[in-house]
Structure 1
Amino acid sequence: MPICQQIQINDSCQLIVWKTTEPLEELMQLVHLTPDETIRMNSFGSLSRKIEFAATRCLVQSYFGQNVGIKNDEHGKPHLINSNLNISISHSKLYVGILIGEQYAVALDIEYLSDRVNKIATRFLSETELNSIEKENKILHIYQHWCAKECLIKLYGKKDVHLIDELKISPFSPNDSSFSGQVCRTDFSETYQFHYILFENYLLVYSCKKSQ
Structure 2
Amino acid sequence: MPLYKFVTLNDDTQLLVWKITESHDALFEQVRLKDVCLTRVDGMKSEQHRRGFLSVRMLLQEAGYTDFDLYYTDDGKPHLKNGKNISITHSHQFSAIIISSRNVGIDIEMQREKIMKIACKFCNSEFSYLQPERKDHYIKMLTAIWGVKEALFKMISLPGISFKNHIDVDAFMLNDANGTATVTFEKMNTNYTFLFEEIEGFTLVYSFEATNI
TM over 0.5, shorter chain = yes
Higher helix share: 2
Match of 2:88 in 1: 89
Aligned length: 208
| In 1: Cα distance, 2:194 partner to 2:164 partner | 18
Does 2:14 align with 1:14? yes
- State the Cα distance separating 1:13 from its structure 2 match: 0.8
Matched, 1:169 2:164: no
The amino acid of 2:19's aligned partner reads: K
SS of the equivalent of 1:148 reads helix
Stretch moving more, 3-12 or 30-39 = 3-12
Does residue 99 of the first structure (1) align with residue 98 of the second (2)?
A: yes
Paired with 1:57 and 1:66, the residues of 2 have a C-alpha distance of: 7
Mapping of residues 35-74 of structure 1, within 5 Å: 35-66=35-66, 68-74=68-74
CA distance in 2, matches of 1:121, 1:177: 20
Give the Cα–Cα distance (whole angstroms) in 2 for the partners of residues 67 and 113 of structure 1: 30
Alpha-carbon RMSD: 1.7
Match for residue 113 of structure 2?
115
Distance 1:200 1:46 in 2: 23
The whole-number CA distance in structure 2 between the counterparts of 1:148 and 1:174 is: 13
Residue 172 of structure 1 deviates from its aligned partner by 2.0
* TM-score of the two chains, using structure 1 as the length reference: 0.91
CA displacement 1:8-62 (0-9 Å, x = unmatched): 1111111110111111111111000111111111122211111111111122123
> Which AA in structure 1 matches 2:6?
Q
Gapped runs of 5+ residues in structure 2?
none
Deviations 1:95-154 (A, max 9, x none): 11011112x11111101111111111111001x312311343111111111011001101
Alpha-carbon distance in 2 for matches of 1:61, 1:158: 29
Matched AA of 2:30: L
Does residue 129 (structure 1) correspond to residue 123 (structure 2)? The answer is no
Measure, in 2, the Cα distance between the counterparts of 1:141 and 1:39: 38
SS at match of 1:171: coil
Residues 146-200 of structure 1: CA deviation (Å, up to 9, x unaligned): 0110011011112421111111111222322321111111232211011111121
In the alignment, structure 1 segments of 5+ residues that lack a partner are: none
TM-score (normalizing by structure 2):
0.91
What residue identity is the alignment partner of 2:114? R
